[in-house]
């Protein structure tokens, strides 16, 4: 690829704008500033892109994401993981050389302008998930999140406005299901970070309080073992006070107050030992019964012995590119929660692994999917039939 660095940057800028509309807000010099840190020491001629088939095969392998180092350091600072760096450089070089078409890249990846990396797309509506929900959405609206393609980051006000129709319809459907099934009822609302779970739960609670229904919330994180005992395993039977969790759900659904562990995020430790006994000097949480109990968290609620206790299993979903734009604004700009490069590494790694471990299994068993990016509500056929017959 006999091309000068400036010519390479100019050609790449044109191709990136065709893939990611948010890049159209940049001028060439700004694009070059962002590209500086990614220039290979030996020049772009040293990058030899894999075939499209090899790239597609790589990003479908769990081991590729598991190997990502989120805190890789050089000269006492966190730097981009080598696998992410290599993949992004390959895609850059392949786009300029013609080894990869813009259409092919856009199908498999999305480009994050603020992070200046490519990330593999996650397919949540797999054939198996679509089949589980009867082959089609129960109700669809105009997908207003499409307008976010042109922004680099995203605040909640615009996000909420784009979701107004689907959220409003979803709330009415939940209210109708509860009027059919009765109370007390346990609701799980799972979904990825920055999908909008906290905000939509607050709106649901407000709606029920207007109907004179009592509500309460159980945070699944309070059932976690101490961090050192979890060994980075996903939330499940091996990482939580599972028996205490199950008994607590049974008790509160029978109208009994429950006493549960309290998890301290500052010390990353539980108030209870692995045997479920209260540690000296610690205090548990007491939760009173209510008509509607929200269970917050991403526990594998598809497990039969837990699923049977849940009245409505909901996955509240927003596509990864939109969530990432929300997280740049929320977690980096406002909360200043992460080092930006650590954040890039972490998001790249976890979006695939959490979809594989948590969200896809839940979607295959959920009663309801709220797809805010697609502006569609999906219902399991049995749930849809109950609504139609009510």
Q: Which whole-number Å values give the CA distances from 130 to 126, 221, 359, in the listed order?
A: 6, 30, 14
Across 3-11, average pLDDT: 90
What pLDDT does residue 301 have? 81
CA distance 201 to 314: 11
| H-helix or E-strand spanning residue 230 | helix 227-230
Q: Which range, of 2-6, 61-65, 249-253, averages the lowest pLDDT?
A: 2-6
> Any idea what the Cα angle at residue 149 is, between residues 146 and 155, rounded to 5°?
90
Name the pairing type of β-strands 185-190 and 312-317: parallel
Which pLDDT tens digit goes with each residue over 359-376?
A: 999 999 999 999 999 999
Residue 3 has pLDDT above 80, yes or no: no
Q: Is the dihedral of CA 353, 358, 359, 363 positive or negative?
A: positive
Which pLDDT tens digit goes with each residue over 249-263?
A: 999 999 999 999 999
Say which residue, 236 or 66, is predicted with more confidence.
Answer: 66
CA distance 355 to 310: 21
What pLDDT does residue 1 have? 60
Closest CA to 256 of 211, 216, 303, 305: 216
Question: Please, how many CA atoms are within 13 Å of residue 133, restricted to the half-sphere of its CB?
Answer: 27
What pLDDT does residue 390 have? 61
CA distance 339 to 337: 7
Across 41-53, average pLDDT: 94
Length of the chain measured in residues: 390
DSSP state of 278: B
Closest CA to 187 of 286, 307, 305: 307
| H-helix or E-strand spanning residue 48 | none
Which pLDDT tens digit goes with each residue over 73-88?
A: 999 999 999 999 999 9
Single pTM value for the model = 0.93
CATH architecture of 127-214+290-389: 3-Layer(aba) Sandwich (3.40)
Which pLDDT tens digit goes with each residue over 292-347?
A: 999 988 777 878 889 999 999 999 999 999 999 999 999 999 999 999 999 999 99
Which pLDDT tens digit goes with each residue over 112-138?
A: 999 999 999 999 999 999 999 999 999
- Domains in the chain: boundaries: 5-120, 127-214+290-389
Which pLDDT tens digit goes with each residue over 142-196?
A: 999 999 999 999 999 999 999 999 999 999 999 999 999 999 999 999 999 999 9
């Amino acid at each position: 690829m006999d091309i000068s660095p400036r010519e390479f940057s100019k050609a790449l800028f044109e191709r990136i704008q065709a893939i990611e509309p948010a890049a159209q807000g940049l001028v060439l010099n700004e694009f070059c500033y962002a590209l500086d840190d990614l220039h290979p020491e030996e020049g772009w001629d040293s990058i030899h892109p894999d075939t499209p088939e090899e790239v597609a095969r790589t990003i479908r392998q769990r081991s590729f994401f598991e190997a990502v180092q989120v805190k890789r350091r050089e000269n006492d600072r966190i730097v981009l993981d080598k696998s992410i760096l290599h993949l992004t450089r390959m895609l850059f070089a392949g786009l300029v050389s013609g080894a990869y078409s813009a259409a092919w890249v856009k199908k498999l990846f999305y480009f994050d302008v603020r992070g200046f990396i490519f990330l593999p797309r996650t397919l949540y509506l797999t054939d198996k998930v679509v089949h589980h929900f009867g082959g089609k959405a129960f109700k669809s609206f105009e997908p207003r999140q499409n307008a976010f393609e042109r922004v680099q980051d995203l605040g909640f006000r615009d996000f909420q406005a784009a979701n107004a129709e689907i959220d409003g319809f979803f709330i009415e459907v939940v209210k109708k299901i509860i009027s059919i099934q009765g109370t007390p009822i346990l609701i799980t609302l799972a979904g990825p970070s920055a999908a909008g779970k906290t905000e939509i739960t607050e709106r649901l609670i407000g709606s029920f309080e207007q109907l004179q229904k009592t509500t309460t919330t159980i945070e699944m994180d309070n059932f976690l073992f101490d961090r050192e005992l979890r060994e980075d395993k996903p939330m499940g039977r091996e990482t939580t006070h599972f028996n205490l969790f199950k008994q607590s759900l049974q008790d509160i659904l029978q109208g009994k107050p429950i006493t549960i562990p309290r998890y301290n995020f500052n010390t990353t430790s539980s108030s209870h030992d692995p045997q479920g006994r209260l540690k000296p000097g610690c205090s548990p949480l007491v939760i009173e019964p209510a008509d509607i109990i929200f269970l917050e968290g991403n526990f594998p609620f598809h497990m039969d012995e837990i699923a049977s206790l849940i009245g409505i299993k909901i996955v509240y979903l927003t596509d990864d590119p939109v969530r990432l734009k929300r997280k740049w604004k929320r977690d980096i700009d406002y909360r200043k929660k992460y080092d930006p490069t650590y954040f890039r590494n972490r998001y790249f790694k976890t979006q695939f692994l959490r979809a594989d471990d948590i969200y896809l299994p839940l979607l295959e068993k959920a009663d309801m999917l709220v797809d805010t990016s697609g502006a569609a509500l999906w219902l399991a056929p049995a749930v849809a039939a109950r609504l139609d017959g009510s």
